[in-house]
Amino acid sequence: MPRETRLKDHLEKLRVLVAISRAGSISQAATRLHMTQAAASQSIKVLERALDFDLLVRESKGIRLTERGQVLCEFSKRLFLEIEAVEAQLATASEGVSGGLRVGTHETLAIHICPPVLDAFSKMYPGIAVSLISGRVDDLVRALYNYEHHMIMSVEPQPRDDLKIAVLYEGCFGLYGGVKLPARIALDEAARMPILTDASAHVRQGLPIPSFLAGCGFVLDRFHELNSFEAAMRIAAYGLGLALVPDRNAAEAVASGRLRKIDIDELDTETFGRYRICASWLKRNESYKPLQIFRDSLLARFSSAAENVPGSGV
């Protein structure tokens, strides 16, 4: 017999769940939502009764989401982003905005991130023709200041007074190898294996990956100078080295069983650092309507509360 009360009857309560996930406590979530703590707690209880499973676990250190609660929370975040995107579309639909927009990015983002972004945007705003141009980070920045691009998407650019920067998402680097390798290997064994990565990529602007690795103490006499993370992963899948690539790029290869993440004895899991993918544009171009719409669409897609890089002036 189907339940009389279903999830669709409690969509507003999902906002409470998302707020608790972000705040880490019911009281802080209630404050952010301008409601009482009792009302926030009651919302979760009603939602749990409707779904017939627990969403939160109360522990001595605070509150955490159950596995099902986490699944529902991630769905809810995507749902509210879609709602915000539709609202943005409705707000601009009557304006008939049209024009061209040139967006520069590097090859990795063009392969792994841009296709779904451009597909969704072209359907939502058919009057705005977006041209995607891939290249090296330094060339992209130069083109932005030469008015050749309206926006660039890159790894954490250097803040400047005339530049606005918004974080799209944050990720981390990891080492990946063929599935025949053990999931954990000794540091001296790892040091004997070639390191495979995109030699032209940056951990952040001004810090290429080879320089970053050297700073971590790696000897790069067996470093392969490849021009893409995709090439690094394909070679690593044959057991011919360790690919140092962003976790986001390797996710599909890991899920399909072509690669596995490799932990190194004596190295902390954070050794290879985190990175931030950002959108940046010149302040003097900010009044251009297609740029505004594309920027807002990006931020809505990646984060409903995008952070700003310190010192960027955003």
For 178-229, the pLDDT digits (tens) are 999 998 888 778 777 888 888 777 666 567 777 777 766 666 566 667 878 8
Amino acid in position 60: S
Which residues fall within 8 angstroms of residue 10, CB to CB, at 6 or more apart? Answer: 46, 47, 50
Is pTM, for the whole model, over 0.85? no
Average pLDDT over residues 54-65: 84
DSSP type of residue 157: P
Question: Over 50: is that where the pLDDT of 308 sits?
Answer: no
Amino acid in position 314: V
| Residue pLDDT, tens place only, 277-300 | 889 999 988 888 889 999 988 888
Which residue has tokens 């995109």?
Answer: 198
**Cα–chain center distance at 98:** 28
Instruction: For residue 181, give both structure tokens.
Output: 């390798």
- Whole-number pLDDT of residue 311: 36
| Residue pLDDT, tens place only, 139-159 | 888 888 888 899 999 887 888
Q: What is the CATH number of domain 170-275?
A: 3.40.190.290
Confirm whether 7-90 and 170-275 share one CATH topology: no
Long-range contacts (CB closer than 8 Å, 24 or more residues apart) made by 264-271: 264/175, 264/184, 264/185, 264/186, 264/187, 264/190, 265/184, 265/185, 265/186, 265/187, 266/186, 266/187, 267/187, 270/172, 271/216
Residue 261: beta bridge partners? 176
Q: Which CATH class is domain 7-90?
A: mainly alpha
Half-sphere exposure of 135 (CA within 13 A, CB side): 16
What are the extents of the domains in the chain?
Answer: 7-90, 96-163+283-302, 170-275
Q: What is the CATH number of domain 96-163+283-302?
A: 3.40.190.10
**Cα–chain center distance at 4:** 38
| Residue pLDDT, tens place only, 1-58 | 444 557 777 888 898 998 888 888 898 888 888 889 999 999 999 999 888 899 998 8
